């Protein structure tokens, strides 16, 4: 089983699609060489659980392609997604043994993993890694706080619009599309996963998506393929400051 997951195919860090955004972004050539020695790639299938809450983790790593979610679950089954991991995002926490969350692949995924102990040693030795990780963690903290506003104060319609605009924005920057008012992308989440992200039920998600479609804010082709004819309109529906800025 593990043998199937693990691929030792060596990619060159120089060609890596997430080279400029991941935890290694600031590394010099010699630092990259040392990283290459402790790295290995691992594939996960859609639906596969990467880490169970509470389990011991012996690696950390970066999402190379695909999407994963962090979720928390209460005893009675209520679940809340607390993080969405897109390519270049970091998984795991140096200095702590277990993850407090379930990490689940929602699409097929490739991860660039580092054995935890050697990585922690490298962090001490090469400040570039520690510095970049701090920067990324501060960004994640900002994103989490942004999301607290969504969860605590926005209506169901605003929540959906917020999620769509975040996915649209990240998708556009990743694919290096120019900032446009019309955007097209695929939803990487089921209605249920969206509900878990937004603190709603899947029925409410479905109703609000239908409503946004009915009102012309979005267009749907199938269940997943979304067209946003006017991005600033979507931002408006999300209740965000539309300080003019597109795709920052």
- Give residues in contact with DNA (CB under 7 A): 155-157, 190-192, 199-207, 209-210, 220, 222-224
Which of 40, 38, 32 has the alpha carbon at shortest distance from 13? 32
In the bound complex, what is the minimum distance in angstroms from residue 214's beta carbon to a second copy?
Answer: 24
Quick check: 93 binds a second copy (CB under 8 A)? Answer: yes
Binding pattern for the stretch 180-209 against a second copy, x by CB under 8 A and - elsewhere: ------------------xx----------
Quick check: 248 binds a second copy (CB under 8 A)? Answer: no
Task: Rank residues 139 and 221 by Cβ distance to a second copy and give the closer one.
Answer: 139
**Whole-number Å distance between alpha carbons of 180 and 228:** 10
- Whether 129 and 94 have beta carbons less than 8 Å apart is answered as no
Which of 219, 126, 115, 204 has the alpha carbon at shortest distance from 159? 204
Task: Rank residues 111 and 200 by Cβ distance to DNA and give the closer one.
Answer: 200
Indicate which single residue of 48, 65, 72, 190 sits in contact with a second copy (rule: CB under 8 A).
72
Quick check: 55 binds a second copy (CB under 8 A)? Answer: no
Which one of DNA, a second copy, none interacts with residue 156, CB within 5 to 8 A by kind?
DNA
Query: In the range 209-228, which residues lie near a second copy by CB under 8 A?
Result: none
Between the alpha carbon of residue 205 and those of residues 63, 83, 194, 201, the distances in Å are 27, 18, 7, 6
In the bound complex, what is the minimum distance in angstroms from residue 123's beta carbon to a second copy?
Answer: 8
In the bound complex, what is the minimum distance in angstroms from residue 136's beta carbon to a second copy?
Answer: 10
Q: Give me the torsion for CA of 242, 195, 88, 118, rounded to 10°.
A: 140
Q: For residue 14, how far is the Cα from the chain centroid?
A: 23
- Positive/negative CA dihedral, 189, 55, 138, 197: positive
| Strand 68-73 to 109-115 pairing | unpaired
**Whole-number Å distance between alpha carbons of 178 and 181:** 10
- Whether 22 and 124 have beta carbons less than 8 Å apart is answered as no
Indicate which single residue of 6, 10, 33, 134 sits in contact with a second copy (rule: CB under 8 A).
134
Applying CB under 8 A, which residues contact a second copy? 70, 72, 74-76, 78-80, 82-83, 93, 95-96, 100-101, 124, 127, 130-131, 133-135, 137-138, 140-142, 144-149, 151-153, 198-199, 239, 241
């Amino acid at each position: 089983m593990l043998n199937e997951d693990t691929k030792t195919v060596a990619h060159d860090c120089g060609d890596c699609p997430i080279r400029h955004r991941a935890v290694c972004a600031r590394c010099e050539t010699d630092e990259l060489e040392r990283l290459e020695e402790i790295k290995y790639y691992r594939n996960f299938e859609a639906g596969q659980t990467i880490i169970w809450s509470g389990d011991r983790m012996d690696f950390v790593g970066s999402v190379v392609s695909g999407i994963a979610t962090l979720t928390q679950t209460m005893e009675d089954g209520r679940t809340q997604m607390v993080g969405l991991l897109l390519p270049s995002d970091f998984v795991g926490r140096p200095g702590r043994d277990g993850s407090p969350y379930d990490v689940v692949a929602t699409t097929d995924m490739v991860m660039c993993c580092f054995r935890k102990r050697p990585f922690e040693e490298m962090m001490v030795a090469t400040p570039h890694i520690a510095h970049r990780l701090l920067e990324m963690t501060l960004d994640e903290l900002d994103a989490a706080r942004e999301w607290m506003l969504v969860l605590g104060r926005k209506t169901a319609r605003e929540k959906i619009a917020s999620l769509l605009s975040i996915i649209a924005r990240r998708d556009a920057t990743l694919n290096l599309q120019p900032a446009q008012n019309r955007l097209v992308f695929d939803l990487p989440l089921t209605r249920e996963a969206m509900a878990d992200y937004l603190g709603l039920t899947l029925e409410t998600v479905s109703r609000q998506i239908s409503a946004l479609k009915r009102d012309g804010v979005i267009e749907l082709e199938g269940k997943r393929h979304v067209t946003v004819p006017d991005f600033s309109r979507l931002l408006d529906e999300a209740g965000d400051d539309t300080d003019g800025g597109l795709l920052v």
